[in-house]
Amino acid sequence: MSLSSVSRLWLFAGAVLLMTLVTGIPSRAAGIPGEIRIGTLYADSGPFATSSKSQLQGLKFWVDEVNRAGGAYVRAYHRRIPVKLITYNDRSSTTTAATLYNQLITQDHVNILAADFGSVLTSVAVPIAQEHRMLLFDQTGTGATFFSTKNPYIVLTSLPSSAEWPYSLADFLKSQPQITRAALLYATNDFTGSQAQTLRQRLHGSHVKLVFDHGVPTSTSSYALLLHNVQAARPQALIEFGYPNNDIAFLHDLQASGMKFNMVFTIFPGQLFALMESSVGPKTLAYTYTYPTPPLLVYNRVNYGPGLDNFRRAFRSAGGKEPNFLNIAGYNTGLVIQKTLATAASLQQLAMRRSIVSFSGKLHTLNGTFRIDPATGAQTGETLPVGQFIPAGKGLAVRMLYPPEVATGRPVYPAQ
C-alpha cells in the first residue's frame, strides 16, 4: 500500500471518529439497522376480513405517526430508527397464514412479529413463533390455550385472555336473583370455547343453572332451529358467544323469529358497534347486553400515547371515520412495541420479553392498563365490564352495569 493510500485511510477513519464524537451517532459499520421491520398478516377476504382490516388500520396509523416523528426510539442503538411494516394477505385461511408467518420470519427476517386478528388466525402463529424463538406480539388472539409457562415467546397486547372475559358476566348473572335459568350457545373455537368453559366454572354451585349448553361450528350461519331448542329450555338469560359473523346471524334470526328473551348477551356489539348496528339495526340491538370496549369505554388518563379523545380526533382527521375497537387494538399494539423498543437493552427476542415484563402494570394507554402475567404472557390488565344498549334519542347508548365500581345505571330486565 502506498503512503498516499495509507494517508487516505487514516483520514477516512479520522472523519468517522470525528462524526461519532460530534454527533454521538455510531457509524453504520457498528451494525445499526436502517429500519425496524415489523411483520404481520391481515385478511382481505373471508369471515375475518372486516375485523382483520380494522386491526391493521390501527397498526398502520401508529407506524405513520412514529415515522413522522423520525422513527421509533430504539434504546439498543440510542437513536430513532424508521419502522417498516411488512404485511401479507392470509385471506382468513389458517393454512395460508402458517406459510406467511414462516415467510416473515425466515425470508423477510422481521425484527418483530405481530399476529393477525383473533384466535383462529393466531392459533397457527403461536407454535411457529415458538419454534423459531420469535416473540409474538399477539394483538387479539385471546384463546386460553396459547398461554403457558412453557412458552416465553408470546405477549398478548390489547385484550385479556378470553378465559377471563366471562368473569364479570358470570358475577353479574349471580348478582341477579331473578335469573336462575341460563342458556349458553357458543362457537367451538379457542376464543369462544374458552369463554364457555369459564362461564360454566364460575356459575357452578350458584343459583344460576345452565339449562341449555350447546356448541356449534364457527362457520354456523343459521340459528333458527337452535333458537327453537333454546326456547324449549325456558331460560331467563340467553348467552351467545361467537365471532362477528356468528353474532350477526344469531341476532338476525332472533329478530326474525319473534322470540323474546328477558336477557340476551352477545360479544361483538361492544367491539364493533357501528358494524353490528348497520348489520342488524338499532331495534335489534336495543336492550342487548355485551362487553363494552373502547371507544365505548373511555380512557383519557394515560401515561403513554394519546388519550382516547385525542386519538379519535387524530384518526378521524387521517381517515375521515370514527375508530372502532379493533382500530384501537392495532394502535395499542404499536404503543406496546414502541415502549418495548424504547426500553429493551437489545433486539434479542427474550430481551424484549424481559423489557415488557419490566413495564407491565405501569403502562396506561387509551386501551386501559397494560399488564401481563410474567409467566405466560397473557394479558390481565384490560378488564371487560358488562353493559347494556339502551335507546337514547334516535340511537343507542351503552349503560355500564357491572362491576359496581363502573356501573352507570341498573339493567332493564326483562328486556322491553
Strands 363-365 and 368-370: antiparallel
Does residue 118 sit in the same domain as residue 208?
A: no
- DSSP secondary structure, 123-181, as one string: HTHHHHHHHTT--EEESS---GGG--TT--SEEE-SS--TTTTHHHHHHHHHT-TT--E
Q: What is the pLDDT, as a whole number, of residue 43?
A: 98
Look at residue 267 and tell me if it is in a domain: yes
pLDDT score of 194: 92
Q: Give yes or no: residues 275 and 317 share one domain.
A: no
| Rounded Cα gap, residues 406 and 399, in angstroms | 10
In a domain, 91, yes or no: yes
CA–CA separation, 31 vs 333, rounded Å?
27
- Domain boundaries, position 125: 36-161+298-370
| pLDDT digit string, tens, across residues 25-40 | 444 435 899 999 999 9
Indicate whether 261 and 397 sit together in one domain.
Answer: yes
Which CATH number covers residue 220?
Answer: 3.40.50.2300
| Residues whose CB is less than 8 angstroms from the CB of residue 173 and which lie 6 or more positions away in sequence, other chains included | 179, 182, 203, 206, 208, 237
Task: Provide the number of structural domains found in the chain.
Answer: 2
- pLDDT for residue 30: 57
Is the domain of 256 the same as that of 116?
A: no
Residue 378 lies in a domain: no
pLDDT at 5: 47
Regarding whether 212 and 253 lie in a shared domain, the answer is yes
Q: Please choose, from the candidates 308, 309, 311, 276, the residue with its C-alpha nearest in 3D space to the C-alpha of residue 290.
A: 276
What's the grid cell of residue 336?
Answer: 406496546
Q: Is residue 391 part of a domain?
A: yes
> Which residue ranges in the chain fall short of pLDDT 70?
1-30
Indicate if 67 and 151 belong to the same structural domain. Answer: yes
Is residue 9 a part of any domain in this protein? no
Based on the domain organization, do 94 and 207 belong to the same domain?
Answer: no
Verify that 309 and 392 share a domain, yes or no. Answer: no
Pairwise CA distance, residues 237 & 203, whole Å: 13
pLDDT of residue 22: 42
Is 304 in the same domain as 156? yes
